[in-house]
Structure 1
Amino acid sequence: MTPFETCLAALRRPGPAESFFAVLDKALAEVVGHRLFTLLYVAPDRKRVKRLYTNMPKEYPVGGYKPVTESDWHKRVVGEGRAWVGHDYEDVKWAFFDHELIRSLGCESAINQPVVYAGRVLGTMNLLDVAGHYKDSDPVRLEPFAALMIGPFLDAIALDPDIGRS
């Protein structure tokens, strides 16, 4: 089976979303590679995120809502729903406040692939690796996998404690 077919099969199996996320992690490692992989749910108000999955739980733990600030990165990925590729440490430094931690993990390049449904960004798939690892063409290879995340991110919306509050 291809990595995509493996993910499709995992998505169809009953069980917790974390089981599917682990399969997705392995598939994306095969498709484009990564040292660090996280999934961030973006609340509908676009002002909070929640980490749903990480392959480095010590450095990037799952859970807890975190506020986000408006930045050029945020406008592009969350506001416009366009993938962002960072090729080197200067790019990572521009995009992320925690760039020093990222660099300490051996990561100096990144892809942030938005998961978009009906024109709304539901979350992001975040892959990081050594400098120069990613190409501008890599997000196209990730788009089919991002589509598989629509269901899990819609589940996250359903579980968001602030949905429906005024």
Structure 2
Amino acid sequence: MKSARALELFSHTSELAIRNPDAGLYRAIEGALNELIGFKLLTILRLKGARLVRTHTSDSATYPSGGYKDITDDQWLRSILSDGVPVISEDSTKVRERFVDHEAIFAMGCGSVLNIPVTSALGTLGSLNLLHEAYWFKPEHIVLVRPYALLLAVPWLAEEAHNRRP
């Protein structure tokens, strides 16, 4: 039963987020989403000022951790972050319109993107992104991915709170 497996994976991943996020939270999210939905590339981007910094990637050769996207001149990206609403770019036309790095995306055999903002009561903190062949992602995938994006907020907010301590 897929729903039972989805809950089992989420339970395991949420334990990491709460108890020990440094012990593989990103890899656990990657593994769970690969099993539940599948993807050719997964990236986790964290908002730092006017940049989205890549904190995790499933393909470090093409999209290494530490890379970033400047959101200053990217109206579409800024709108996703400010609205905090998941977006599916279902085909190469949408990917080309929305992503300046579309040639690298196409070179990986990807033609669709699922962007899920990482949100909290304080606003958008980053995004969880899955890429695959055209028309791979469906609206029901948003329901499966969004809880994992929310899990990312737990250690990120804890880190920010810790850094604000005197």
TM class, shorter-length: 0.7 to 0.9
The answer to which of 85-94 and 135-144 deviates more is: 135-144
> Which residues of structure 1 form unaligned runs of 5+?
none
TM-score when normalising by structure 1: 0.84
**Residue 30 (structure 1) aligned with residue 71 (structure 2):** no
Question: Does structure 1 retain, via aligned residues, the 8 Å contact 2:111–2:134?
Answer: yes
Q: What percentage of aligned pairs have identical amino acids? A: 32
- Structure 1 match to 2:107: 104
Report the CA distance between 1:85 and its aligned residue.
0.2
Q: Give the Cα separation in 2 of the matches to 1:68 and 1:131.
A: 25
Q: Structure 1 residues 96 and 123 mapped into 2: Cα distance closer, same or farther (>3 Å)? A: same
Provide the alpha-carbon RMSD of the alignment: 2.3
- For 1:68-87, list aligned pairs within 5 A: 68-87=71-90
Match of 2:12 among 6, 15, 18: 6
SS in 2 for 1:123: strand
Deviation track 1:33-88 (CA, whole Å, cap 9, x = no partner) reads 21100000012x4x111110001111111115542234342243101101110111
State the aligned residue count: 158
Question: Does structure 2 retain, via aligned residues, the 8 Å contact 1:76–1:83?
Answer: no
TM-score when normalising by structure 2: 0.84
Q: Give the Cα separation in 2 of the matches to 1:76 and 1:141.
A: 22
Letter in 2 for 1:11: A
Question: Does structure 2 retain, via aligned residues, the 8 Å contact 1:3–1:31?
Answer: no
Q: Structure 1 residues 95 and 101 mapped into 2: Cα distance closer, same or farther (>3 Å)? A: same
Q: Give the Cα separation in 2 of the matches to 1:149 and 1:12.
A: 10
> Which residues of structure 2 form unaligned runs of 5+?
none
- For 1:7-156, list aligned pairs within 5 A: 7-14=13-20, 16=22, 19-43=24-48, 45=49, 47-63=50-66, 65-154=68-157
